[in-house]
């Protein structure tokens, strides 16, 4: 991926990892467009970073995604990088679930269907560019699930699988496909902003940016803190890592 001169769209770009990436990429000299549901958060982020643009988007709404993609195509015809970052994470007790599975369905719509729909809607625009990149933000929990967040973990595992297939199908095109695999990072997701067990956000962004600038850019952007989860299966340590992770969070 080129470090500069891109037009980049980041969903969920008003807070957390999305905002961190948006600000870092903006400082590198890219035109950055952030998108999300909360206009006030987007406005605050854009105001703090002169030249950054924002658009509102309900990533759960298929029709809203189609309308959004049409608007982006008109307003940002040079768009060549899509970062599917928007996501929600909620705890679930599978032994006492309500009849209404709204939380589970919202996570599937936001974390999995949202990136799939937005990627499909923007594919014609991305295919027109000389060089383009699609980055999907999954999670270390795609590889070792956190039992407290079963559907969240499952959506990230599915997004990883989708990303692998997308990369293969686009291998003979000018569109590269990357996967960003964060560890537990200090953000407001699940109230982890002050959790000392989590990686500081600025440290995470700095290490991620260094990996994105590597040539050739690795297909999977894995900071060192996530290696234990990402490679648990291949190292033969899945059972031990799964047990340790879930024991550590069983009282959370």
As annotated, the active-site residues are 152
- Residue 84's nearest CA partner among 45, 51, 53, 110 is 110
Q: Using CA atoms, how far apart are residues 26 and 16, in angstroms rounded to an integer? A: 15
Q: Using CA atoms, how far apart are residues 203 and 213, in angstroms rounded to an integer? A: 16
Q: Using CA atoms, how far apart are residues 162 and 159, in angstroms rounded to an integer? A: 5
Q: Using CA atoms, how far apart are residues 48 and 41, in angstroms rounded to an integer? A: 11
- Residue 223's nearest CA partner among 202, 246, 248, 205 is 205
Show the CA angle centred on residue 216, arms to residues 215 and 222, nearest 5°.
Answer: 95
DSSP bridge partners of 54: 34
Provide the 8-state DSSP code for 185: B
Q: What are phi and psi of 185, to 5 degrees?
A: -120, 150
Q: What are phi and psi of 144, to 5 degrees?
A: -140, 105
How many residues in total does the chain contain?
252
Q: Using CA atoms, how far apart are residues 28 and 49, in angstroms rounded to an integer? A: 12
Q: Using CA atoms, how far apart are residues 237 and 81, in angstroms rounded to an integer? A: 35
**Angle (deg, nearest 10), helices 114-127 and 62-75:** 30
């Amino acid at each position: 991926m080129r470090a500069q001169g891109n037009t980049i769209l980041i969903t969920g770009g008003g807070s957390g990892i999305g905002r961190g990436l948006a600000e870092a990429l903006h400082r590198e000299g890219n035109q950055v467009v952030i998108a999300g549901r909360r206009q006030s958060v987007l406005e605050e982020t854009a105001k703090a970073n002169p030249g950054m643009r924002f658009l509102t988007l309900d990533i759960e709404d298929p029709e809203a995604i189609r309308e959004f993609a049409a608007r982006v195509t008109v307003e940002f015809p040079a768009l060549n990088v899509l970062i599917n970052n928007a996501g929600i994470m909620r705890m679930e007790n599978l032994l006492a679930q309500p009849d209404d599975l709204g939380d589970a369905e919202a996570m599937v719509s936001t974390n999995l269907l949202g990136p799939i729909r937005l990627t499909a809607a923007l594919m014609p625009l991305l295919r027109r560019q000389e060089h383009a990149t699609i980055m999907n933000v999954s999670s270390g929990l795609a590889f070792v699930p956190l039992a407290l967040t079963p559907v969240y973990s499952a959506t990230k595992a599915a997004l990883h699988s989708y990303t692998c297939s997308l990369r293969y199908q686009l291998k003979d095109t000018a569109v590269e496909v990357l996967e960003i695999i964060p560890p537990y990072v200090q953000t407001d997701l699940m109230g982890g902003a002050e959790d000392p067990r989590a990686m500081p956000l600025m440290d995470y962004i700095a290490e991620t940016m260094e990996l994105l600038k590597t040539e050739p850019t690795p297909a999977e952007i894995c900071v060192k803190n996530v290696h234990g989860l990402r490679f648990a299966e291949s190292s033969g340590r899945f059972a031990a890592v799964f047990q340790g992770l879930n024991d550590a969070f069983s009282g959370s």
